[in-house]
Amino acid sequence: MRYYSTRNRTDPVSFATAALTGLAPDGGLFVPEAIPQFPQAVRSSLGTMDFHDIAFETIRPYVHPEIPDTVLGDMVLSAYPFTAPLIEAGDRLVLELFHGPTAAFKDFGARFMARAFSYLRRNEEQPLHILVATSGDTGGAVADGFFGIEGISVTVLYPKGRVSPLQERQIAGLGGNISALAVEGSFDDCQALVKAAFADADLRKHLALSSANSINVSRLIPQAVYYAAASGRALAGRVDPDGDATPRDQAKSGGNSREDGASGGLPWKGVPLTVCVPSGNFGNLTAGLYAMGMGAPIRRFIAATNINKTVPDYLATGDYRVRPSQATISNAMDVGAPSNFERMAAHWSYEELRRMIQGIPVTDDETRSTIAAVHERYGYYLDPHGAVGWKAIDKAAGPANGPIGGAPIDGPVAVLATAHPAKFAETVEPLTGPPPVPASLKKAMEREPNARTIPADISALKEALISLKDPL
């Protein structure tokens, strides 16, 4: 597979170059020259295949032959000692993406990316410096994924005061080869600083830089895995039992947890899945579109945003207009200029995107009422981002039955639970009582954050990066 810039289809590069460079020299994002297709044998077996086998088959065409099959198989097993359960909550499906070490969906991309970087740079002597901007969960996942990886150091930029206390501990509490910078500004400011750093020739003389945001294709591609796995299981009429981190209040759930994940024969068997994706920077939805393009049985997507609704407005009007981000309780989605829209526009026309995606914004008040109502009715705890997705499904279905009702969508519908609700206890607990805390988060809560504060200025970032002592 070769990759080209979204801004220049000439001079394609290898997967290694695309991954390790991060941002294309012209400022564009790397995209695959084609979206590969699952072999028919894989497409017909997605409902019964092991998660690791699906991961191998999904990632392989994007990295072959630079990562040999035997190495890729080992990477997948090492990266994913966890999976993504597709569970039931009422008559709705929830794809739980928080069973990894930082309890957020970013674990799927960051852990594979770290292992891929380590392999691709196995013969390099100069250390690699990863520079990443985060609105919340990305920073913690990248920090955890790269922690202790030989030959690689990481600096995470996050908007000061706009991430949760737990997220800050995950971002800035590891030490070692991980450093953190608290930026006096928004996530968009952090993202702009990262792009400016990559464009700064003087800085690149001092550091071998790469990125770990969803602008990096090696973090994006593995996220297609859970879409393929979940849509295959739904088509087969199968769901999973609750996992160890599933946040269900058994006293209220009414026996909603299945003991037999291979139940089969559920009402939607044979019908492609509609997937609702809580969306901020739109990397997760782009990965879903890749999975759909590969042949995963997905009917369409609902792009659920908070009041930062740049893409829903574009889908409604055809006018793409970025704007400053606004702070919300679903902070990881506070993005006014989503980077991955450039990838979406490079692959698909406006008409194609409108056919595949319905964009729906959700307010903070709607988010809070959804968290409370879903817990009261189903005994299931949603984090603010998952609640945005749940409410967007209601809006897509219709207003018939209030905050958690609506007319049924044709066929199965799943909302992505992108982070564990315990990561946002300050928002969730007043509405539901304390959510259960998984073991991974209990461990993170014991850390003390250590971050340097800088203004949203490229000269300040350069000074901070150059002055950092390399911990390797």
Is residue 259 scored above 80 in pLDDT? Answer: no
Per-residue pLDDT band at 257 (split at 50, 70, 90)? low
- Give the pLDDT score at 266: 67
Please indicate, yes or no, if residue 49 is contained in any of the structural domains: no
Domain for residue 324, yes or no? Answer: yes
Confidence band for 165, pLDDT divided at 50, 70 and 90 = confident
In a domain, residue 326? The reply is yes
Residue 341 lies in a domain: yes
Per-residue model confidence (pLDDT) at position 399: 55
Contact between 379 and 253 (Cβ < 8 Å): yes
Instruction: Say yes or no to pLDDT of 370 above 70.
Output: yes
Q: What is the pLDDT of residues 436-450, one digit of tens each?
A: 999 999 999 899 999
Could you give the CA distance from residue 227 to residue 284 in angstroms, rounded to a whole number?
10
What pLDDT is attached to residue 166? Answer: 85
What confidence score (pLDDT) does residue 253 get?
Answer: 67
Token digits of residue 179: 């450093």
Give the helix ranges, DSSP H, for 309-424. Answer: 310-317, 341-347, 350-356, 364-378, 384-397
Strands of the 178-184 sheet, one edge to the other: 209-211, 128-133, 152-159, 178-184, 452-455
Token readout for 440 is 């991974």
Residue 250, number of CB atoms within 10 A of its CB: 11
Measure Cα distances from 332 to 61, 143, 158 in Å: 30, 16, 11
pLDDT of 181: 96
Identify the CATH number of the domain in which residue 387 sits: 3.40.50.1100
Give domain status of residue 291, yes or no: yes
Q: 299 pLDDT exceeds 90?
A: yes
- pLDDT at position 472 is 39
Q: Give pLDDT, residue 332.
A: 84
Which pair of tokens denotes residue 372?
């409370």
337: pLDDT strictly greater than 70: yes
* Among 333, 386, 331, 387, residue whose Cα is nearest residue 163: 331
pLDDT band per the 50, 70, 90 thresholds, residue 157: very high
Sign, Cα dihedral of 406, 410, 414, 415: negative
Q: Is the pLDDT of residue 404 over 50?
A: no
pLDDT(53) > 70: yes
CA distances in angstroms from 413 to 260, 294, 327, 472, listed in the order given: 20, 20, 28, 46
Sequence-distant (6+) residues with CB within 8 A of 178 are 143, 146, 147, 153, 154, 156
pLDDT at 401: 41
Q: Residue 229 — φ and ψ, nearest 5°?
A: -65, -45
pLDDT value at 400 more than 50: no
* DSSP character string of 8-53: EEEEEE-HHHHHHH-B-TTS-BEEESS-----HHHHTTTTTS-HHH
Total domain count, the chain:
1
C-alpha span between 464 and 472 (Å, rounded):
17
Q: Can you give 124-191 as a three-state secondary structure string?
A: CCCCEEEEEECCCHHHHHHHHHHCCCCCEEEEEEEECCCCCHHHHHHHHCCCCCEEEEEEECCHHHHH
Residue 191 lies in a domain: no
Strand-pair category, 273-278 with 298-305: parallel
Contact 340, 282 (CB under 8 A): yes
pLDDT, greater one: 205 or 471: 205
DSSP reduced 3-state for 94? strand
Residue 144 falls inside a structural domain: no
The mean pLDDT of 7-35, rounded to a whole number, is 92
Average pLDDT, the chain: 91
CB of 97 closer than 8 Å to CB of 418: yes
Residue 214 lies in a domain: no
Beta bridge partners of 274: 300, 413
Res 460 pLDDT > 50 = yes
Residue 178 to residue 90: CA distance in whole angstroms: 41
The pLDDT of 108-114, averaged and rounded, is 94
Residue 469 pLDDT exceeds 90: no
* Residue 466 banded pLDDT, cuts 50, 70, 90: confident
Count of beta carbons in the 10 Å neighbourhood of residue 131: 25
Range of the domain at 388: 82-104+220-437
Q: How much of the chain, in percent, has pLDDT values that exceed 70?
A: 94
- Say yes or no to pLDDT of 471 above 80: no
User: What integer pLDDT is reported at residue 22 of this predicted model?
Assistant: 83
